[in-house]
Structure 1
Amino acid sequence: MSNKDKKVRIALLGGAGMMGQGIVRDLLSDRAIVDIAELKLFDSSRERMRALGEAMNNDARLSLHELDVSDAQALRRALDGVDICVNAVPTLAGHQMAIFAAALDARADYVDLGGLGTYTVKQLEWHERFRAAGVVAVLGVGADPGMSNVICRAVADQLDEIDSIHLYWAATLSGAENPVLVPPYSVSTVLAEYAHPCVQFLGGRHVECAPQTGKEVIDLPEPWGRCEFMYSIHSEQLTVPLADGIRQKGIQEFTWKLHLPKREHEAWVGLVKAGFGDFDRPVDINGTPVRPLDLLNAVINRNIAENAQRIPAQQSSEIHFAIGRGRVGGQPATARCEVIVRAHPMYEGYVDAATSMNASIAVQLMLREPRRPGVYAPEAYFDAKSYFVEAEKRQFAISLTRQIG
């Protein structure tokens, strides 16, 4: 059944973080396609929540609740009576499975922003438990993963037989050079992308690849220009080639590759060279064990705060695209789906509009459309056409092309 005609209650965990704040902004905007009775924002920082509430003009639908997600009883109480749990707590904080299980226990539908593949496979194994309980979970609903999975579905639907699908994401910054390193998303996520081995789908099977390998240069339109991509740890390659309607078409190769702006790329490579890729293993500092991640986060955040006046106005542009090769009617064919996100006044106040807006789209489609209990990746749950209608409302430019012969 659908929640289309009812007022819904949403719990957003980690709601005052970088991505959570954007999800709040989009859910409470005039773009909403569901009627929200209450958006319950949970976070460990009362100060960040209060600032967000003020930025949202203390919207009556928004309620603020301090929560330590490591407190199992408090977490379970937080989900009582909500229609859906949105998990925006950073994956590598280590609470993904506990929040996932709490949503099932509360009979609340569930989404998260992805697990870099770390938890995705484990969560998919719970499909029958969720289905039997009548609960829906969709994993990885940001931009990458999330929208990226949906564009792979759109490409796959254009081909009768599939040899390969290659998925890419590139970002670039226009404007004066920034003397301050500002992470594009969670520091732990970026470090994992640069430092951890990843799994790609090659030769019809999943293969572990070393970090920063699989390099490929592609010429893109301005402002990106010539971009060097690399393999990276992600979840799309773990789910897309195995999805119904894709697996049966004979796919033998699926890869996901990343390109960050040149200066930022160099900074992350340098940090990994310095040892920050092993960010969870504590180091001893004057007799006190300290995680490198905690140290790096503290230094980066202090540097941003103390040098805020030196951070120039920059415009971020990103391109997400998937290229599928195979056959249509026995003829060789290539399909390409591309989403371009350029700077727009609508994105003011967002740290990463693409990720948080896509998470909001996924939540709203789940609440509006007929439900299918179980655990899914986005390409297995969402209809690409309906999804793209919502993405275009947010000024994402989408194109889908096919060449035969």
Structure 2
Amino acid sequence: MVLRAAPRFVVLGGAGAIGRIVVRDLFESSRKNVVLVADYDERAASKLALTYGSRRVAHASVDARETSRVASLLSGYSVVINCTHHRLNLQVMQAALEARVHYLDLGGLFTWTRRQLRLKPRFAESGLTAILGMGCAPGLTNVMAAHAASQLDRVHSIRIRVGGIDFNASDGDFTFPYSAETIIEELTLPAWKWSRGRFVQRPPRSGWESIDFGSPVGRMWVVTTRHSEIATLPLRLQDKGLRYADFKVGFDRLFVREVMKRLRAGWKVRDFQALPAPRSAPNDYEVTRVIVRGDRHEILMDCLTGSNNKWHASAGDIDTACPASIVAQMIAAGRIRKPGVWAPEDLVPADLLFQECRKREMEFVYRRAGDAMNSPPRRTCE
């Protein structure tokens, strides 16, 4: 497929929490980039586009469930970055096929990712590339794990841990660090892990573990949740002997109890979504960690991200949106060319991704087993 000289991107769900940061990163990355903010909420999309005061940013109103309408909207663009809910992923992929546009999303919460992979022959036949789950987790986590695994002859286990701290939070606060709908799914759906060479289901809210993420996050509780990394990393690394893989994310245990209490009392997702959002500027810090163990060595790799006041973006907004923007630009520039449907670890060049993330003030720390956890960090892939 021949791409246009001026890269043209559609950010579907572009007025949302993550979509708006994808738009910002695309706009600031290159003066050639053209961006369409496509969202169900026309007023929000228009308001966001107008803040740029540039012909390079336009807006459109679209319902992602209307495949033919989305396909018509995508026609003539280079890449669609799908920032909508994962239940719409298959429909947006179908629209991308009809419009002959490359595709990227933020994840399919394991189940949808596995369904999406079945479209690989259709994308390959059309000469199109689709990359599934290219945010932070999944996304960066996949690439970090594969990068660490590439330095080992054998890989026995991969453990992914994500933790953070909100410096604005106070005791008794009840706010969601990211999508309330996604968090509720993570806390109520059975989780998946890879154990002894097969996928195994675990009860929701199981596997609590105390992890020290270092300063300033410190020690916090993490819990097993359903995540897309586990749908693809074992398939990529099974030949290296991978026997175990899981994903755990940090939650305050009182927060989890309160969510479950309200759900049992009859609260719906829309009730949680109606809770007032914090008005203060984001001020937080997130650690995204992969631990890869082989025969003789264990490699620990962290991605360290802080909030961005200029963009009014939390750490989680930055480390999710920026990798999506970076990889979409790789596709548009022809740096990623392989047709089909792929996970990030299959195609994304780790060195280039880490380099671009550093430009967004994201830091990568690499340690081998035996290094002191508080020793000076060694940057990866300089």
TM-score by length of 2: 0.90
1:118 match: 111
Give the equivalent residue in structure 1 for 2:24.
25
TM-score, length-normalised on structure 1? 0.85
Counterpart pick for 2:136 among 128, 134, 143 = 143
Q: Give CA deviations for 1:70-94 in whole Å, capped at 9, x if unaligned.
A: 2232122111111111111122xx3
1:176 deviates by 5.2
Distance 1:252 1:345, change over 3 A: same
Give me the whole-angstrom Cα distance separating, in 1, the residues matched to 2:22 and 2:250. Answer: 24
The structure with the largest strand share of the pair is 1
Aligned mate of 1:201, from 189, 194, 207: 194
Correspondence 1:291-330 to 2 at 5 A: 292-298=268-274, 300=275, 303-304=276-277, 311-313=279-281, 315-327=283-295
Residue aligning to 2:32: 35
Distance 1:375 1:202, change over 3 A: same
The letter of the residue matching 1:335 is: I
Contact kept, 8 Å, 1:127 with 1:375, in 2: the verdict is: yes
Q: Which runs of 5+ in 1 are unaligned?
A: 278-282, 284-290
1:280 corresponds to: none
Check 1:365–1:276 CA distance in 2 against 1; reply closer, same or farther (3 A cut): farther
- Structure-1 residue corresponding to 2:379: none
How many residues align structurally? Answer: 369
For 1:247, the equivalent position in structure 2 comes to 238
- The match for 1:288 is none
Structure 2, gaps ≥5 residues long: 372-382
Aligned equivalents of 2:273, 2:308: Cα separation in 1:
29
Matching residue of 2:351: 385
Once residues 76 and 119 of structure 2 are traced to their aligned partners in structure 1, the CA distance between those partners, rounded to angstroms, is: 22
Letter in 2 for 1:205: R
Distance 2:225 2:244 in 1: 15
* Cα separation, 1, equivalents of 2:68 and 2:328: 25
- Report SS of the residue matched to 1:400: strand
Which string of whole-angstrom CA distances, capped at 9 and with x for unpartnered residues, describes residues 56-79 of structure 1? 2x2211111111222232122111
- 1:86 corresponds to which of 81, 88, 102: 81
Residue 401 of structure 1: CA displacement? 3.0
Worse-matched range after superposition: 357-366 or 229-238: 357-366
Residue 108 of structure 1: CA displacement? 0.7
What CA RMSD, in Å, does the superposition of the two structures yield over aligned residues? Answer: 2.3
CA distance in 2, matches of 1:249, 1:349: 38
Deviations 1:294-320 (A, max 9, x none): 23323x1xx33xxx6xx4555211001
Corresponding position of 2:48: 52
Residues 1:267 and 2:262 are matched in the alignment:
no
The question of 1:367 aligning with 2:332 is answered yes
Change (3 A) 1:149 1:370: closer
Per-residue deviation, residues 163-212 of structure 1 (Å, max 9, x unmatched):
11111111111145176543222211010111110110112211000111
Identity %: 28
**Alignment match of 1:335 (pick from 295, 299, 303):** 299
Q: Provide the rounded CA distance (Å) in 2 between the counterparts of 1:7 and 1:370.
A: 17
**In the TM superposition, what are the counterparts of 1:119-198 in structure 2 within 5 Å?**
119-175=112-168, 177=170, 181-198=174-191
2:230 to 237, 257, 261: 237
- Where does residue 360 of structure 2 map in the other structure? 394
Q: 1:67 aligns with which of 35, 52, 62?
A: 62
Moved over 6 A (4+): none
Distance in 1 (CA, whole Å) between partners of 2:147 and 2:336 is 20
Secondary structure (helix, strand or coil) at the match of 2:15 reads: coil
CA shift in 2, pair 1:151/1:134, >3 Å? same
